[in-house]
Amino acid sequence: MVVTLIVACEVGFWVLLAAGLTLRYGCRMPRTGAAVLLLEPLLELALLIVTAIDLRGGATADWKHGLAAVYIGYTVAYGHYTIRWADGHVAHRFGGAPRPPKPPRHGMARARHEGKLWLRTVAMGAVAAGLLQLAVWYVGDGDTATLRGWQLTMVRLVAIHGVIALSYLLWPKKAPAGEPEAARPPKVLR
């Protein structure tokens, strides 16, 4: 049941995103589109509630409950970023907005970009680990080894992404000859 709900939440995320952006740009209803986009967190709230009910109902804490926590953590950390990315591209394609800037490809600008992404991964790991710890306390004396294993997986994931982000700082990729190293990309105001 939990895995089905995780899949439903992921599908729901993209359906709400498409509906919100369609209303915003296709139907010229920006407030209605924004309201639909604001429904996104309700999906994660539903997943959290169903996972808690499943655990309280006596289900053995297993990989599904850990995956639910990681999914919620990912959505908290990267959900807004994804929505903003999609909104920028749809606004350009259908709303007459300027093309959204691409991430920097070279030098310190790329290192800053990767560092910001790593901070999102840290936030994802913190949310997931926190939810997993709450689940451990919620289960109590039951078998929580799987949940603790997911916590360790989150620590590994944050560490691996940290090493990758750090590599951009320690060994920055140089811009090709004749191409200046890009400064910070221009911000698009909406």
Report the C-alpha gap between 98 and 113 in whole angstroms: 21
Which helix (H) or strand (E) segment holds residue 38: the answer is none
CA-nearest of 42, 52, 40 to 83 is: 40
What tens-digit pLDDT sequence spans the chain (190 residues)?
Answer: 788 999 999 999 999 999 999 999 999 999 999 999 999 999 999 999 999 888 888 888 889 999 999 999 999 999 999 999 999 999 999 988 999 999 999 999 999 999 999 999 999 999 999 999 999 998 888 788 999 999 999 999 999 999 999 999 999 888 887 776 555 455 544 4
Structure tokens that stand for 167 in this block: 């590599």
